Structures are given as C-alpha cells and as structure tokens.
Structure 1
Amino acid sequence: MATIPPAPVLPGDARLEVFVHPAGLPPNRPLEEDNKFSDARRLEYLGMQMTELAYMDALKTRWPQATTQQLTVIAQTHSPNHLPVKSIVLTFAAVPMAVPPAPPLPGDALLEIFIHPASVPPNRVCDPTNKFSDGRRLEALGKSLVELAYRDVMQTKWPRSSATEISALVNSTISGFMERAVHAYQWKDAVRGRPPSLDADSREEAGRIFCTYAGAVHVEYGYERLRGWIDALTTI
C-alpha cells in the first residue's frame, strides 16, 4: 500500500471554508477583510486553476521528454479533478485513524443502551434506584447534549467563525460524525431486540445509539467528560 503524504496543515479559518458546503452559506456573504481564506467559492476557483497548473508541472518533471501535447492528454485523463469518487473514498479509507476509547459505563447503563427501545414496554416506569432508567430518557438527554457539546467543540476549533457558519457546520456534519463513531465502535452489532423491519445501518439508528450512549456518559460523568470524548472523536 502506498504511503499517503500528510496534507498541509491549515488553520481553523481555512478548514471551515473547506468543509462547510457553500450551499450552506449565504450566497451574498461578504468577504472578511481580516480572513485571507474568505470565502470557499473563491478558494475553489483559485484551487482549480492552481491544481491544474501544479499537476502539469509535476508531469513535466516526471516525463521531461514528453511533448506538450502528450502531457496535456495525460493531465486531462488522469487529473485529480477527474479521479473517480470510489478511488477517493478508498484512499481516505486506507488512512488509519485512532479511535479514542468510549467512557466505560456500568452494566445498568449498557442494558439501556443496547436493548432496542422497541422491545421495551412503552409505559415502563422508571426505576428510582437506577439512574440510567430508561433508554428513551437517555436518548432524549443525549440528543440535546451531543448537539451542545459538538457545537461547543466546533466553536473552540474555529473561534473566529460566525454563529451562522458554526450552525451550518454543525447541521451538515453532526449526523455523519455520530455515524462514524458508532461504526468505529461496532455498536450496531451489539444492539439486541431491534425490529427486523428496522434498517440497522441507517443514519437515524446510528444517531439513536450514539445519543443514548452519550446520555449515559453525562449521567455517569457529567458534561465535561462528554465534551472531551466528543472532541476526541472529531479526529476520526
């Protein structure tokens, strides 16, 4: 397997422009004079021009005997702008990412998390001796706290971003973030009592599992531990 060189490190202002889809931003958004990366549409146009120029330059260095016409054909056929999506996905999938350990939870919490609520009576009474009772309550609690903690982490990573930009970033990435985490921990396979008609691989099911676990983490450890875990998970 070929070694993938690390991408040049970019500051938060740049990463926000890169990873927030321009469709999620106002079309008439003014440029920020104190932010040299403002805005993504300008970066995309500049990048397309410079990528083609740099790629052609690299080809000339590799094949100095080739004619301009030959290099142009190679560039148009194998340009990074024309790589198939599958190749790009496989390239990123080949990069190993360290998964931070999930905060350990007691058995009472794990039962609530990994027994699907559909197999639990809907009118089940909360057990006053069990602080994790019940899974639906943990899920609702976790859903609110995950969004709060994730937004908090994003604001810390990109402190100069506006509230609109942070909201766009959170709304467009939080579901995928939870789905990646559940996949990394292989939690979908641990769920018991899931109805056969329910899609175990759906993004909604991943979100339910993650939020329920997050709710239990908050009950056991508090918000700061939950936030730290979510912060660590943003690297996967």
Structure 2
Amino acid sequence: MDQSFNWHKEAEMQWNDRAEMWSSKSREMWDEGSRCTIIPFLKKHIETGAIADLGCGDGYGAYRLFQEGFKVTGLDLSSDMVDRATSRINEEGISFVQGDLTALPFEEGTFDAAMAINSLEWTEVPYKGLEEMKRILKPGGRLCIGLLGPTAMPRINSYRRLYGEKVICNTMMPWELKKMAEETGWTYVNGQGVYKRGVMETHLSSLDEELQQALTFMWIFIFEKNK
C-alpha cells in the first residue's frame, strides 16, 4: 500500500467535507428515519449512566441520549462535526471531543455503556475499534452498535476497493461483526433490524436471525463486555 495514504486522516477530511450535508438530515434520521428505533431499543438493554457516543456526528443522537437521562460524551473523527455539535448543544451533562475510534482518548473503565452507529465501518482495522470500546467500558458494560446491512446503499463507499482503489469504508456483514465480537471478549445480548420499505414483519417471522440480517439496511447489536 502507498505509505502516503493515511486512512484515518483521509476519513477525517472526507467527513469534514460531508459535515454540512450530514447535519442537514441528522435530526430527521434520529426522529423519524432509519435511526428512530435505535434509542428505544438501547433503553431496553442499557440503564442510564455515563455513555460514550462514538461517531457522534453533529451530536443530535447524543442529545437524544441526554434527553433520556444519560450523561453523554460524544466523540467524532471530524473536527467540523465536533464543532457543530458543541455549538448546537450546550447542556450540562453532555460534552463533545474529537478523537479516533481506534485510539480513544479515555481512561480504562470510564463508561457504563457506549453507542457506535455506523462508525466502526469507517476504521481501517475494525478489530482495534472493538478493543478500544471494550477498554473504556466498565466490567459488564454494554455496547449498542449499528452496522450497515447488505441492502444499504451507503455501502457504495467501499465498492471501489474492488478496483484496487483506496477507500475509507470497511463494510462487513452483520454475522462477521458478531463472530469477531464473540471471539474477542464480548457477549451477544440481542439484535434488531432496520429494513427498507417493502420488507414486512410477515416476511421476517419465519426466518432465522442470519436470514433476517441478510435483508437489513442496518443491524443493531447489543453486546456486553465480559467481566
């Protein structure tokens, strides 16, 4: 690989460029769109406490967690995203910091829980991100992680790798992430799918979990750090 190519510096620059576009639609995604079921699902499995929102974007998802009673620290690789989050949200009990998911600027065992929605895919070595998330959680801490599913159009961000081009998106299948997590000190607690229009509950009820995942726009996991 060309040693001049730095995955995470490139990712930071590209997400700085996308910050305005993302900010324009983030509220709709969390309130009514593809992310609207995440926090209700998270609350079923994670009690309020100190939580890290890793890949927080412009901070609206972190704000929704704050509204539910969590003490929230949001982190994003993009300095533009963090600036937008900081200027948009000024509440005691919520803060934002720039940082890398594979080298988190937090002490071991800082948080009761973490949330990472569509952010692990943007790391060069997702395993390192999982290890860092495990490190910053207390024993028994839980992680809610959202991963783009096989039917998600944003997976096009990694498509050009098939031509040998350098990309900054490391798409993976939901069952690949689950297997990696279980091999590296996490216990799978539960999962839930987000589907495109046209996929009905009647289509899913007779399918096992892997087949349900195969139809997803996004699969949401709850993992628990092994004690």
Which gives a bigger RCO, structure 1 or 2 (Cα 8 Å, sep 6+)?
Answer: 1
Structure with the larger strand share: 2
Greater share of helix: 1
**TM-score (normalised: structure 2):** 0.23
Q: Is the radius of gyration larger for structure 1 or structure 2?
A: 1
The TM-score, its normalising length taken from structure 1, stands at 0.22
